[in-house]
Amino acid sequence: MLDYQLLLPIVALAVATYGVYLQHKQFQMTRDQTAQKKKRNSPDLQVWWRSPQTIVMAIMVVLCWIPYFLNQSTEVSFDGADSMAVVGWGGSEELGPGKFFVTANGGRYFTYRNSYRFMTFCLVYDGLRDELDAPIIGKSAPYDITRGLVRTVIVPPSGGCGPNFGLLLIPRELDPGGFSTVRQAQALGAKFAWKGAAVNPPPSK
């Protein structure tokens, strides 16, 4: 695959070199015209935006911005590590005790809206087994994928939630009660978009 991050600086360098050459030619022309001592009634002015120097600079500006758009992450990851999938999670005074939220980035998965819904969960990962096999403690209801932010609410049966949270895209026909681990959900067609751990609260003063 062509490495655009390497190619574009090379092209920019070539364009800049050509710009220097044009500038040199311009100085030569000016010097020759001065030496000829031609008298003119009015100066021969060139429209500034059509000058070679302006065109070269415009090309260089465009080339400098292209990597910014190429580097934007547009591909969706389903390995549980999509850092753009969720914008916040945890508990809140607004929800009250025993309830937790995960706010998903609906716009990122909007193209999946017809076949999937969001479902979030919490679990306890003790490191003794694969995290995909850790039992899920609490699940949210399925939420439609819409543009913007989608705030899901998890109400664990025990009233407490593990320190680990996650986001799944589950098939619209899939019953959330039909699985108890992420691996089981994946076997039923779910996509594992994100996982995150709760942040320890600051010590009380």
Average pLDDT over residues 137-146: 95
Q: Give the domain extent around 101.
A: 86-197
User: % helix / strand / coil in the chain, to the nearest 5?
Assistant: 35, 25, 40
32 and 126 assigned to the same domain: no
pTM of the model: 0.61
State how many domains the chain has. Answer: 2
96 and 129 assigned to the same domain: yes
- 185 inside domain: yes
Q: What DSSP character marks residue 140?
A: B
**Beta strands per DSSP E along 111-177:** 116-123, 136-139, 143-144, 149-154, 164-171
- Return the pLDDT at 133: 93
Choose between 57 and 85: higher pLDDT: 85
139 and 91 assigned to the same domain: yes
Average pLDDT over residues 154-171: 86
